Structure 1
Amino acid sequence: MSEVLAVIEQPNSIKDFIKQDSNIAFLAGGVAGAVSRTVVSPFERVKILQQVQSSTNSYNQGIFSSIRQVYHEEGIKGLFRGNGLNCVRIFPYSAVQFVVYEACKKKLFHVDDYGGQEQLTNTQRLFGGALCGGCSVVATYPLDLIKTRLSIQTANLNSLSRSKAKNISKPPGIWKLLSETYRLEGGLKGLYRGVWPTSLGVVPYVALNFAVYEQLREIGINTSDTQPSWKNNLYKLTIGAVSGGIAQTMTYPFDLLRRRFQVLAMGGYELGFRYTSVWDALVTIGKTEGFRGYYKGLSANLFKVVPSTAVSWLVYEVMRDSIRNW
């Protein structure tokens, strides 16, 4: 009899487990990240191709022209190359961010601002955002590195890579790239190549993203109860887009450095650059490519980040509230 009751009560146990705050943040954050990145995958691919170029003009003809070029050369699969791995990476990446941020609010600052009674200060938001950004990088960086390499291995970045690309009937997949990187590039050191410039970009980006979004969200809390749900969702989309655009523009040069350091071992000389450190990269880019070199691919990135961040915040909040009200 007790076994039957245990089975009957199991759904409630599972439900209670899922409705724990940390599990809600993990599930909602992971799904939000995967959905948002899939929506903007073509822009992500083009952004990376533009970032890793030095002085070639292969993908410098505008965002949509570059997308058409990728589609013409590689088909629909080319527009979403690396997205499968990106979703595998972005689920824990996004989930870790929201879990750590929610934990910071409740455990470190003892604030539950979703109840509407209390709010974090901007300093607390920046600190919490920076912490969750750093944790997410450490947890998922090898997958980010492999995703970047998957994105460029079949692209026509210059004449030499064009000839090589023609000879690649089937480019190496995720696990082969992971094993080869680990085996040929120094083990974990190879898998975490570029993690320092990545952290320099991601940590302040996530901090600004969370801080700006929650500051703007706080402004709208007082009127949210009197507005229809579609207006609230539109407001969340808008402030998510604003927070992502501001954060990415302010930290973009480090995102560019992240991509270039990730592909150095694939043939930096062939791509037109070789750096010994983050400072050397900053100086070299300024000398050889000018100030605009620091923001190469920014337009494509904003086309990706603005809708991606907007969708991510909306999906996260809607899914979180739905689970809580389940």
Structure 2
Amino acid sequence: MTDDPTEKKFRAWFEKTDLTKKGKIDRDTLARAFREKEHPLFKSNDHIDQLFQKIDHKHDDLIDYNEFKSYFQKAEGEIKHAFDNIDKNHDGYLTKTDLRSYLEDNLNIKATDEDFEDFYKNVDQDHDGLIRYDEWRNLLLLVPRNQGSRLKTAFRYFNEDVDLSSDGDMTIINDYLKGVGYFISGGVAGVVSRTCTAPFDRIKVFLIARTDLSSTLLTKKREISKRNANHPPLNKIKSPLIKAAQSLYKQGGLKSFYVGNGLNCLKVFPEAAMKFGSFEIGKNIFMKIEGKSSTNDLSRFSTYLAGGFAGMFSQFTVYPVDTLKYRIQCAPLRENRQGIIWRTAKEMYKEGGLRLFYRGIFVGVTGIFPYAAIDLGTFTTLKQIMIRRKANREGKREDDVKLSNFVVLPLGAFSGTVGACVVYPINLLRTRLQAQGTFAHPYRYTGIKDVFKQTIQREGYPGLYKGLSPNLAKVIPAVSITYLVVENMKRALNLE
């Protein structure tokens, strides 16, 4: 038997919890220990399940001493760190003023006087008006650390988000409100981002629809090489981007760069809302599958999967609007634009019924999976790495660290650029399927194999990357702006 007092303490805690004296604690035993300790949360089956999953690292539905010690050793260190941060004068006690200031300033919890008093009474177990460290520790040790904060989790359970049913189960009402917040944040971010980058999207579609080789970046390089051999004047060489911009401007002025943007915004709000909202739902589903108590602990593989499925779901919901948008953008610019949305929709329905709106749906939905997985997964992973490094460098807890906007912008640009480059050929083929038979793209296809075959025959493999340059010029600021708005709205709505 060791003489280490810390080891003795953890051993004593384990033995008090191991009511069956088998050396292993199952879920029911942990629940019984909660009841016997008369812990304020002993009626919460949801709370006990989360705590058990957090301690059970092996996921064998049993907690041995090493798992127990590992969890509580780490938990006690975090709890002590938080206590010292709140106890500004270091007198060993937390007053109501200390605790309320920390809730408001650090956790963005704006509690009513009644809610705060109820919570303080639950922590102040001897009701002497002060919270000692042992009272603080005894309560929070048995609270799972969700979303980076035990204190926030405890406050939610005790007050604003708790609704106990007749069976004693907890319904976390605020989770639903936060879910709506994620959808709203994503939708607003999508509209702001898309409007800012509409001209780039317009040029991209213009180049994709065209099939002459002069509009591809790779072919343009070949042309320049040939011209260099004959020493032509450099000022006569124009990039395909400049040519496309000039063509659009001549046909409709500045307005031509925003053709379809109104429809784009109607489409992108639900698309971005579904993307970011379903991403959070997906992470929570995988969190339960992996037995984690927080999405911050989710494996990278599951994070990328959640991102991919979120992209597929969002793409499917707005696909008909997407097809309609491409049809409008590929129409002659000089024709009457008034009522073009309904006119084009009627023409499409007359031509092929509802099926026409879903042309290319399979390649569109499956093609978006790798992009969304790489985009959302990479951003989330890099964000967590940056937060972890900053927390270690500044000696703070991860939940106390906030990344500046100057860090969020390049993270979004990188994740979006990598994803866009990987799946661009799929995006091009899907767009041509949607735009086939239009003024700008009169060719017809029988399916994804046919559009691929015809593209290679007419333009070679460089044709698969036609419009990549304006797409990247759009993606870099677009994704950066999207994540910037999303992250700031999440903070404003207290979603993290």
- Tell me if both proteins adopt one fold, taking TM over 0.5 as the criterion: yes
Match of 1:123 in 2: 301
Match of 1:233 in 2: 405
Confirm or deny: 8 A CA contact 2:204 2:470 kept in the other structure. yes
Match of 1:313 in 2: 483
Q: Aligned with 1:324: secondary structure?
A: coil
1:214 to 368, 380, 404: 380
Match of 1:194 in 2: 360
Question: Do structure 1's residue 82 and structure 2's residue 254 form an aligned pair?
Answer: no
**Superposition deviation, residue 104 in structure 1:** 1.2
**Superposition deviation, residue 272 in structure 1:** 5.8
Q: Aligned with 1:153: secondary structure?
A: coil
1:155-170 alignment, distance < 5 Å: 155=333, 165=334, 168-170=335-337
Confirm or deny: 8 A CA contact 2:324 2:344 kept in the other structure. yes
CA 1:150–1:271 in structure 2 vs 1: closer, same or farther (change >3 Å)? closer
1:1-326 alignment, distance < 5 Å: 20-55=177-212, 57=214, 61-110=239-288, 118-155=296-333, 165=334, 168-170=335-337, 172-186=339-353, 188-224=354-390, 232-266=404-438, 271=441, 273-324=443-494
Q: Distance in 1 between matches of 2:216 and 2:458?
A: 18
Q: Distance in 2 between matches of 1:154 and 1:236?
A: 39
Q: Aligned with 1:271: secondary structure?
A: coil
**Superposition deviation, residue 172 in structure 1:** 4.7
Gaps of 5+ in 2: 1-159, 162-172, 218-238
**Superposition deviation, residue 253 in structure 1:** 0.4
Cα RMSD between the aligned structures? Answer: 3.0
Match of 2:225 in 1: none
* TM-score calculated relative to the size of structure 1: 0.82
Q: Aligned with 1:20: secondary structure?
A: helix
Larger helix fraction of residues: 1
Match of 1:9 in 2: none
Confirm or deny: 8 A CA contact 1:19 1:324 kept in the other structure. no
Confirm or deny: 8 A CA contact 2:455 2:463 kept in the other structure. yes
Q: Aligned with 2:446: secondary structure?
A: coil
**Superposition deviation, residue 47 in structure 1:** 0.1
Confirm or deny: 8 A CA contact 1:200 1:254 kept in the other structure. no
Q: Aligned with 2:210: secondary structure?
A: coil
**Superposition deviation, residue 300 in structure 1:** 0.6
Q: Distance in 2 between matches of 1:140 and 1:325?
A: 26
Q: Which structure would you say has the larger RCO, counting Cα contacts within 8 Å and 6 or more residues apart?
A: 1
Q: Distance in 2 between matches of 1:190 and 1:117?
A: 39
Confirm or deny: 8 A CA contact 1:45 1:151 kept in the other structure. yes
AA in 2 matched with 1:320: K
**Superposition deviation, residue 141 in structure 1:** 0.8
AA in 2 matched with 1:173: I
Confirm or deny: 8 A CA contact 2:215 2:240 kept in the other structure. no
Q: Aligned with 2:297: secondary structure?
A: coil
AA in 1 matched with 2:193: S
Q: Distance in 2 between matches of 1:107 and 1:18?
A: 14
Larger radius of gyration: 2
Confirm or deny: 8 A CA contact 2:214 2:240 kept in the other structure. no
Identical positions, percent? 30
Q: Aligned with 1:54: secondary structure?
A: coil
Q: Aligned with 1:99: secondary structure?
A: helix
Q: Distance in 2 between matches of 1:106 and 1:39?
A: 32
CA 1:35–1:117 in structure 2 vs 1: closer, same or farther (change >3 Å)? closer
Moved more, 142-151 or 115-124: 115-124
AA in 1 matched with 2:445: Y
Once the two structures are superposed, what CA deviation does each residue of 1:234-278 show, in whole Å capped at 9, x if it has no partner?
Answer: 1111010000000000000011011101111436xx736332221
Name the count of aligned residue pairs.
Answer: 297
CA 1:287–1:319 in structure 2 vs 1: closer, same or farther (change >3 Å)? same
**Superposition deviation, residue 56 in structure 1:** 6.3
Q: Distance in 2 between matches of 1:117 and 1:247?
A: 22
Gaps of 5+ in 1: 1-11, 156-164
Q: Aligned with 1:266: secondary structure?
A: coil
Confirm or deny: 8 A CA contact 2:307 2:372 kept in the other structure. yes
Q: Aligned with 1:109: secondary structure?
A: helix
Confirm or deny: 8 A CA contact 2:307 2:377 kept in the other structure. yes
Confirm or deny: 8 A CA contact 2:360 2:448 kept in the other structure. no
Q: Distance in 1 between matches of 2:247 and 2:324?
A: 23
CA 1:169–1:102 in structure 2 vs 1: closer, same or farther (change >3 Å)? closer
